[in-house]
Structure 1
Amino acid sequence: MNSLREWWALPVDYGWNVAFARSQQALEITKILIGLWCWLFGAAAAIGLVVPGLAEGSLGTAALWFTVATTVPVGVAWWVGGWPSWQMSIAFVFYADVVLAAVVLTIGVPTTVLPTAALFTVIGSYVVGFHGPKLLTAHYGFALVTTAVLYGSALVAEPELRLLATVYLVILILVMFSAPLIVHTFMMMLRRDATGAFYDPLTGLQNRRGFDAAIGNLRLRPGSATGMTAVVMDIDNFKAVNDRYGHLQGDAVIRLAASRILDVFPAPAITVRLGGEEFAIIALDDRDSVVASAEVLRIRLCNAT
């Protein structure tokens, strides 16, 4: 139970997940693959419209036509648009879940269609990559309910094939729940450690590694096209503080300086501790505004007690 609570409480930063994938040059290929998946699903729905007996009812036909009509523009949006915001990403998962459920619950013979519920795993792979335990639980809870309804329909419609339907159900449970949940748990733990590798533990500012990654993605940040200004600062006579008052007081000075930097230069500015008492700031603003803010920072540091 403790492990389950720890998994549920794991922190999730969607923006950081996206930035990390971008820094590893994985974001563009992911967009292409998701767009391609949308089109393949739409193509499968189009084929389903002409397969005899698969979409005989009006609900099944409507679900397939809706899938064909919507997956094309959604796939185009993934290919030509930017990466979705957190809200749009959740909306995409909701859309994919509902469309898939509508299709599998309204077409064909339930026993024949039951294995196609494994496609929920494809959607789950996206959730595993960019979201946290709560959305993953919601997604697989919805998938489980859909699969249960489909399995029940198969038992009612074709009781003579109940053993086959049960075999399909067992395979679906293994495919849909075993590997994704294990992979998600390990990915969350690795992601937590990776996040720490990009930040200075003393100040919470980015470290040199995080700074290099942020600079590599700077052109993709909102406002970067309007201009940016770099500020470099260090603390005079910092060694004397350590020598006279000890390293604990020196650490307190470093933390205070970092706090003032974050107050004056909040996100989306990039703030970094380069090492020791040296800091750097990349502000997405014009030179005059940044110089004025830097002067405010200098005064606040001088007045700090």
Structure 2
Amino acid sequence: MRVLREWWSSDIDYAWVANYHRTHAYLRSAPYFISAACFLLAVKTVADLVTARDAGLGASGWVFAVATVVSIALGLMWGRGHFLSRTWSLRFVIIGDVIIAAVLFALPPSQIVVISAALLVTVGNYANAFHGVRVFVCHEAWAIGVAGLLFLRLVTTTSVEVSAAVSTLVTVLVVLFAASSLNHLFFTALRDDAARAFYDQLTGLRNRRGLLVDVESMLRSARLAPADGATVVSAVCLDLDAFKSVNDRFGHTIGDDVLRSAAARIGRVSFDAVSARIGGEEFLVVVAGDESRGPAVARALLHAIHRDDDATPISASIGVASLPLSQARGDTAVMLNSLLDRADAAMYQAKRQGGNRVSVADPGTDGVGGRRQEGLSL
């Protein structure tokens, strides 16, 4: 029961899944494959329209016309190569389920129509990849219900042998239920493992890989947001002062506690930014905003990290480097590494000044000169 409760309560961060796809060359092409599937569905619907007219079911022609237009519209939408918002992604699942079912019920009853209910597996695979267990279960219930109703219509309105109809239904249910469910469990496990691979296991903050994915997402959102052209991207590099002495004096268990405590405080201060642990006692926070945002976050971190009432008080040296958003183009990893190098150099400048202070790199400077320091006295 515990496993079932965990499974049912599990959720998927749609934005993370979409960003994960964007960072992989072959997964990045997923929108085009989905677009192609939509166009193929439109072609099938036109063929079904011909079948329906040959059977003398002209009154249902509007169903095929609407399904064809909707399929083409969805294909054009995905053909732009962009992932949908979470809301539109859910609508895509619902629309796909509805138009496939509507076309199947508009066709004259036959074993082929019952087998065609297996087309709903394509929607289920999408729901499985991008949405949580509740969406998947709702889709599965819909798909099995559609197959069951098509089966009942077949056996009650045609002269087909019941054994043949049952065999057809079971075949469809195997595809809809067994294959989709196994696929769901497999992908859920893979997705959970992939998500954990983006986070530091000790502190719960992002690791370097997760940092890159979320910074790309942050930059994308910043570029889409209305701005006056003054938006900058700031890297805030933070290194705990004299952390080695904490391990030497109190042991690594206490050292790990200090790292977890520092990470929690960093997360609270930078809740709307991207924060990561990038080394032993080194952290990085990336923010987007005006030119004062980076230094403001750095000062807030400086005050948050050090507390006199801690069992093992610790301080930090912090370096800040910024780059105009308009220049943050090209490869995000290259841009981020360049920004990190400048912030890291500024952080070491703060450390040489005695630690527990902020050093802000002047825009465009790569050396340690041309920086201003802000500090607190212990």
Bigger drift between 36-45 and 283-292 goes to 283-292
The structure with the larger Rg is 2
Q: Indicate how the Cα distance of structure 1 residues 55 and 74 shifts in structure 2: closer, same or farther if over 3 A, else same.
A: farther
- Residue 53 of structure 1 aligns with which residue? 54
Q: 1: distance between equivalents of 2:306 and 2:282?
A: 16
CA 1:194–1:120 in structure 2 vs 1: closer, same or farther (change >3 Å)? same
Take 2:250 and 2:223, find their aligned partners in 1: how far apart are those partners?
42
The answer to whether 1:221 aligns with 2:220 is yes
Matches within 5 A, 1:1-305: 3-51=3-51, 52-54=53-55, 56-58=57-59, 60-80=60-80, 82-215=82-215, 217-218=216-217, 221-224=220-223, 226-267=231-272, 269-303=273-307, 305=310
Higher strand share: 2
Deviation at 1:4, TM superposition (A): 4.0
Q: 1:285 Cα deviation (Å)?
A: 2.1
Relative to structure 1, the CA distance from residue 55 to residue 264 in structure 2 (aligned partners, 3 Å threshold; closer, same or farther) is: farther
Shift of 1:160: 3.6
Q: Does the residue aligned with 1:275 lie in a helix, a strand or coil?
A: coil
CA distance in 1, matches of 2:192, 2:177: 22
Q: 1:219 & 1:299 partners in 2: Cα distance?
A: 25
Distance 1:22 1:48, change over 3 A: same
Structure 1 residue 9, shift from structure 2 partner: 3.6
CA contact (8 A) 2:109 2:150 kept: no
Letter in structure 2 aligned against 1:136? F
Please give the alpha-carbon distance, in whole angstroms, between the structure 1 residues aligned to 2:12 and 2:296. 35
Identical positions, percent: 33
Unaligned runs of at least 5 residues, structure 2: 225-230, 311-378
SS of alignment partner, residue 284 of structure 1: strand
How far apart are 1:118 and its partner, in Å? 0.8
Q: CA RMSD in A?
A: 2.1
Structure 2 distance, partners of 1:19, 1:262, is 21
Where 1:173 maps in the other structure, the secondary structure is: helix
Look up the equivalent residue of 2:104 and give its one-letter code: V
SS of 1:19's equivalent in the other structure is helix
Q: Distance in 2 between matches of 1:196 and 1:244?
A: 32
Letter in 2 for 1:23: T
Whether the 8 Å CA contact 1:53–1:108 is kept in 2: the answer is: no
User: CA-to-partner distance for each residue in 1:192-242, whole Å, 9 max, x for gaps?
Assistant: 122112111221111133234445x35763115743111111011111222
CA–CA distance in 2 between the matches of 1:55 and 1:214? 55
The residue identity in structure 2 corresponding to 1:287 is E
Aligned residues: 302
Structure 2 contact 29–81 (Cα < 8 Å) conserved? no
Instruction: State the structure with bigger RCO (CA 8 A, min sep 6), 1 or 2.
Output: 1
Q: Is the CA contact 2:64–2:103 (under 8 Å) kept in the aligned structure 1?
A: yes
Tell whether the 8 Å contact from 1:39 to 1:71 is kept in structure 2 after alignment: yes
Q: Tell me how far apart the structure 2 counterparts of residues 160 and 182 of structure 1 sit (CA, whole Å).
A: 32
Shift of 1:85: 1.8
Structure 1 position 149, deviation (Å): 0.7
Provide the rounded CA distance (Å) in 1 between the counterparts of 2:238 and 2:28: 35
- CA displacement at 1:6 relative to structure 2: 4.3
Aligned-partner Cα distance in 2 for 1:54–1:116: 18
Gaps of 5+ in 1: none
Residues 276/54 of structure 1: CA separation in 2 closer, same or farther (3 Å cut): farther
C-alpha distance in 2 between matches for 1:218 and 1:145: 39
